[in-house]
């Protein structure tokens, strides 16, 4: 018999291993497009781990938002860059000590955090979604829009402000820029462009053949 919890554990370690390897290759791969793809793989396997933890909404949202939109834009930008790979590698040894210090500080901080959490360890309660007999997504929506409505709205407002700020920063009105106005284009009538006038027919008085006709072989 295959033990389901053992199988879950194996899956977890497999996904975790993929995540770690992919995350490492993000910073070690020479080709920047490959590095972006490694980051995509990191997100994807992280989503798989969350799926194992029965956080299906978070997992799929991670894929829709980060893999489907943010990373596409990233890839878009990186593809356009013509980075001199050798130049980038030059500073590797020079900046290594700084990088090591930052990494060490982060490691100590994380260990401290994990230690504090461990000391206050509480056993996690049952999954509230399964306790309420709802799917993960439905429960999350219920909690967000009832219990946490105000923080949720505030977060949404902050994000909107961020969007407006980004637009305002990049939007410059340049003088002399040409624009098309589709509404005007659609509203155009034939009489705006062509003027038809009535006149009596005329016979050309000059009967000399044109030079273009003469030079014809």
Rounded least distance, CB 73 to other proteins, Å: 7
C-alpha to C-alpha distance for 19 and 21, rounded to whole angstroms: 6
- Residue count, binding to other proteins (CB under 8 A): 27
Rounded least distance, CB 60 to other proteins, Å: 4
C-alpha to C-alpha distance for 203 and 159, rounded to whole angstroms: 73
Of the residues 16, 29, 60, 143, which one makes contact with other proteins according to CB under 8 A:
60
C-alpha to C-alpha distance for 43 and 51, rounded to whole angstroms: 12
If residue 179 lies in a helix (H) or strand (E), which one and from where to where? none
| Cβ(47)–Cβ(64) below 8 Å | no
The interface region with other proteins, picked from 18-26, 58-66, 145-153, 195-203 by CB under 8 A, is 58-66
152 near other proteins, judged by CB under 8 A: no
Of the residues 12, 16, 35, 57, which one makes contact with other proteins according to CB under 8 A:
57
Of the residues 56, 142, 143, 152, which one makes contact with other proteins according to CB under 8 A:
56
Within 62-101, the residues that bind other proteins by CB under 8 A are 63-64, 67-69, 72-73, 75-76, 79
Rounded least distance, CB 43 to other proteins, Å: 11
C-alpha to C-alpha distance for 46 and 16, rounded to whole angstroms: 8
Which distant-in-sequence residues (6+ apart) come within 8 Å of 143 by Cβ? 128
Residue pointed to by tokens 């098309």 = 180
For residue 210, give Cα distances in angstroms to 109, 205, 217.
Answer: 91, 13, 14
The interface region with other proteins, picked from 30-38, 93-101, 149-157, 205-213 by CB under 8 A, is 30-38
54 near other proteins, judged by CB under 8 A: no
**Which residue number, 31 or 95, has a Cβ lying nearer to other proteins?**
31
Taking the CB of residue 186, how many other CB atoms lie within 10 A of it?
A: 7
| Cβ(71)–Cβ(43) below 8 Å | yes
Please give the residue ranges that form the binding site for other proteins (CB under 8 A): 1-2, 31, 33-34, 37, 40, 56-57, 60-61, 63-64, 67-69, 72-73, 75-76, 79, 135-138, 180, 182
């Amino acid at each position: 018999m295959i033990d389901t919890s053992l199988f879950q554990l194996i899956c977890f370690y497999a996904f975790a291993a993929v995540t770690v390897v992919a995350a490492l290759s993000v910073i070690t791969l020479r080709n920047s497009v490959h590095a972006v793809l490694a980051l995509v793989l990191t997100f994807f396997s992280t989503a798989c781990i969350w799926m194992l933890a029965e956080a299906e909404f978070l997992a799929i949202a991670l894929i829709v938002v980060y893999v489907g939109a943010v990373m596409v834009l990233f890839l878009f930008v990186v593809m356009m860059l013509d980075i001199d790979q050798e130049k980038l590698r030059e500073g590797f040894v020079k900046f290594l000590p700084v990088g090591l210090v930052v990494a060490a500080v982060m490691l100590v901080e994380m260990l401290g955090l994990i230690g504090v959490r461990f000391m206050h360890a509480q056993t996690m309660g049952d999954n509230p979604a399964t306790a309420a007999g709802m799917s993960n997504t439905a429960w999350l929506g219920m909690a967000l829009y009832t219990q946490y409505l105000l923080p949720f709205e505030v977060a949404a407002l902050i994000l909107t402000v961020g969007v407006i700020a980004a637009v305002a920063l990049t939007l410059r009105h340049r003088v002399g820029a040409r624009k098309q106005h589709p509404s005007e284009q659609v509203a155009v009538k034939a009489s705006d462009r062509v003027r038809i006038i009535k006149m009596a027919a005329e016979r050309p008085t000059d009967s000399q053949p044109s030079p273009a006709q003469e030079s014809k072989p």
